[in-house]
Amino acid sequence: VQLQASGGGVVQPGDSLRLSCEASGRTFSRTTTAWFRQGPGEEREFVSAIRSSDRLTNYADSVKGRFTISRDNAKNTVYLQMSGLGPEDTAVYYCALFLGHAIVSRLRERGTYDYWGQGTLVTVSS
């Protein structure tokens, strides 16, 4: 399985951006896909996750109400729609995949995920 993250760029505070994460290779009916991010000098942190069949979602408190995760199963693609971006959202964004339905208590843990994409850089600056 390979993950390809895309959609990053340089935006101004208050702007919106949509990231995409496309999975290729073997396909599975039940998966959990997450977005993590790593800002300069910071540890990688959880942003959001979605399960494939029941569409259950989970968000970090810092992005709740501003970011929306969604998926297109036909395209094996997960999206992260980001709005109201601020400098604190500047980071490399990584998508990650677990081949199964992760339990809620483990959605935010990096160790849950088997596969990781290469990351896409989001820079929010005026």
How many other C-beta atoms lie within 10 A of the C-beta of residue 26? 8
Q: Which of 98, 97, 91 is nearest to 67 (CA)?
A: 91
Instruction: Yes or no: say if 10 and 120 are a contact pair by the CB < 8 Å rule.
Output: no
Query: What proportions of the chain, in percent to the nearest 5, are helix, strand and coil?
Result: 10, 50, 45
Q: What is the DSSP string of 52-76?
A: TTT--EEE-TTTTTTEEEEEEGGGT
pLDDT in tens, the chain (126 residues): 899 999 999 999 999 999 999 998 876 779 999 999 999 999 999 999 999 989 999 999 999 999 999 999 889 999 999 999 999 999 999 999 999 999 999 999 999 999 999 999 999 999
